[in-house]
Chain A
Amino acid sequence: MSTKKVNSTATARLKQDYMRIMKDPVPYIQAAPLPSNILEWHYIVEGPENSAYEGGIYHGKLLFPREFPFKPPSIYMLTPNGRFKCNTRLCLSISDFHPDTWNPAWSVSTILTGLLSFMLEKSPTLGSIETSLYTKRQLAAQSGAFNLNNKIFCDLFPEIAQKIRTQLKKQAEELKKALESSNNSNSSHTSNNLNGDAVLDHNGVAVGPGGGRAGGPLGAGGAGGGGGRWHMRGTVTNMLVIVGFAAFAFVVKHVLTNVVDMK
């Protein structure tokens, strides 16, 4: 009994943790050790519904010390998420920044549940960043495709990887279909249709310079709300305003001259 525990405490405990997390899965969370090194675990946190991270799949890793469970692991996030820096040791009460508050009775499930709840909060810590809700949503939407570039992610979580591929394929097909159906309208819409929100933001600010990009005739793209038409209209409006202002200035000058003359 005594020899069994020596130097293999961390290994034995982490094996148990793995069996446990497979048997009693935790909501939104998956985790697995590397086959080559039980001290390095990779995890996935799925963004919960109605949160800024909804739809996001966030990949990260836990590095356990040899003294586990008497010392805490370090925690890293690898997928851009808008809440934590990537590839940076995170400072949490459950991470190795705080061995003074680490409880050896905490398991991998406890750690990852703690990470998720801290992610959903807004409180800052070392390794956290502040971003807008919009950025978080955008990163959530891009997270799946990002993770597919990571070999470890695809190896350890093949089902999730497959799910992402299927989803991306579906999205691409829908996009293609949408493009074909609107093919009779202006072809310069393509890039804009990819992300509706971005177009609105862009047009709101940059009406003037857009004029140079609009190549089509003034009446083109009558059906959809095409970017080219909007840019063109902006230029025309600008010109009208300038002409109007010049006319107004001319009138004012004329009136003033007359008033002076009358005196």
Chain B
Amino acid sequence: METNSGDVNQTTFDPTFQHPYSPARLPETVRPSKSQDLKSRFKNLRKTRGDGNCFYRAFGFAYLETLLTNGKEYKRFFETAQKSKDDLIGLGFPQFTLEDFHDTFMDVVKMVEKPGTTAALVEAFNDGGLSDYFVVYLRLLVSGHLQQNADSYIYFIDGERTIKEFCSQEVEPMGKESDHIHIVSLTKALQVPICVEYMDREGDKCNSFTFNPFEGTADSADATPVFTLLYRPGHYDILYPL
């Protein structure tokens, strides 16, 4: 947040899919094969800023970008987002600040219908005020979902912490990195299935994992990931399939 530029930057497309880390951290033998694997399936990668908020920013941008061409899903999401405010207020978040974040969040969401363009979204996500407000609201949604479903998540958090403590330490503050549990919560809170490609040490190819919010329900089968993120240790970016 030192600068307002480059949060989700259109100029840093990186179609080489090279791993940014030194060979010491990732063996040279692994990297080319994994990059090759991505090249065979994706046409481009959009970088997000590495400030600990990258998952939320990547999620928000990639999702809104898909909504530009999916009016039906946009309508569903708009309603979900609209009513999420009251749920969060019900959980005890301060009302007027929450309304403030929600209003800005909805302002960004509404940029999809105007009709919206990718360029306009890029601009919005590079605008510190809008982009960070958007991230804050996504964080609050994750916190809200975890608190409402505390019983299901309590065994998945580290240390002797309550869900509420976990949320105030690992979810709500800006810059706190996201783990598996954050992704599960956000996809469930918004009912958006996504795919994450893991570019880590194991294997010759990237491991892809689908976060399916409908798992265990009747809709489970038709949960096609709406977009794909690339995970390289400590960071999320957006992938564009061929």
Residues of A within 8 A of B (CB): 1-2, 4-9, 13, 16, 20, 67, 69-71, 99-107, 109-110
**A-B residue pairs in contact (CB < 8 Å), sample of 24:** A2-B124, A2-B129, A4-B129, A5-B127, A5-B130, A6-B4, A7-B129, A8-B129, A9-B128, A13-B100, A67-B1, A70-B1, A100-B169, A101-B168, A101-B169, A101-B173, A102-B174, A103-B168, A104-B101, A105-B94, A105-B101, A107-B94, A107-B97, A110-B97
Q: Does B136 contact A (CB under 8 A)?
A: yes
Contact call A70/B124, Cβ cutoff below 8 A: no
A71 to B104 Cα, complex, angstroms:
18
| Extra contacts besides A2-B123, A5-B128, A107-B97 (5): CB < 8 Å | A2-B127, A16-B100, A70-B1, A100-B173, A109-B94
Q: How large is the interface on B (under 10, 10 to 19, 20 to 34, 35 or more residues)?
A: 20 to 34
Q: Which of A7, A13, A105, A110 has the most CB of B within 10 A?
A: A105
Contact call B104/A5, Cβ cutoff below 8 A: yes
Contact call A102/B173, Cβ cutoff below 8 A: yes
If over half of B's interface residues share one DSSP class (helix, strand or loop), that class is named, otherwise mixed; here it is helix
Partner of A107, one of B4, B96, B140: B96
Which residues of B (1-44) have their CB < 8 Å from a CB of A? 1, 4
Q: Does B93 contact A (CB under 8 A)?
A: yes
Contact call B1/A71, Cβ cutoff below 8 A: yes
Q: Does B237 contact A (CB under 8 A)?
A: no
Which residues of B (175-225) have their CB < 8 Å from a CB of A? 175-176
A161 to B151 Cα, complex, angstroms:
52
A1 to B114 Cα, complex, angstroms:
14
Q: With a CB–CB cut-off of 8 A, which chain B residues contact A102? A: 173-174
A20 to B168 Cα, complex, angstroms:
24
Q: Which residue of A lies closest to B171 (CB)?
A: A103
Q: Which of B96, B104, B107, B172 has the most CB of A within 10 A?
A: B96
Q: Which residue of A lies closest to B129 (CB)?
A: A5
A7 to B127 Cα, complex, angstroms:
9
A195 to B107 Cα, complex, angstroms:
62
Contact call A106/B94, Cβ cutoff below 8 A: yes
A6 to B136 Cα, complex, angstroms:
16
Q: Which of A69, A104, A107 has the most CB of B within 10 A?
A: A104
Contact call A105/B136, Cβ cutoff below 8 A: yes
Q: With a CB–CB cut-off of 8 A, which chain A residues contact B132? A: 9, 70, 104
Which residues of B (106-164) have their CB < 8 Å from a CB of A? 107, 123-124, 127-130, 132-133, 136, 140
Distance to closest chain A CB from B123 (angstroms) = 6
Q: Does B98 contact A (CB under 8 A)?
A: yes
Q: Which residue of A lies closest to B132 (CB)?
A: A70
Distance to closest chain A CB from B108 (angstroms) = 9
Q: With a CB–CB cut-off of 8 A, which chain A residues contact B129? A: 2, 4-9
Contact call A110/B124, Cβ cutoff below 8 A: no
Contact call B124/A104, Cβ cutoff below 8 A: no
Partner of B93, one of A9, A67, A105: A105
Q: Which residue of A lies closest to B104 (CB)?
A: A5
Closest 8 CB pairs of A and B: A5-B129, A9-B129, A103-B172, A105-B97, A104-B136, A2-B127, A107-B97, A20-B96
Q: With a CB–CB cut-off of 8 A, which chain A residues contact B175? A: 99-100
Distance to closest chain B CB from A8 (angstroms) = 8
A102 to B127 Cα, complex, angstroms:
21
Contact call B127/A6, Cβ cutoff below 8 A: yes
Contact call A16/B96, Cβ cutoff below 8 A: yes
Contact call B128/A6, Cβ cutoff below 8 A: yes
A230 to B109 Cα, complex, angstroms:
81
A105 to B167 Cα, complex, angstroms:
13
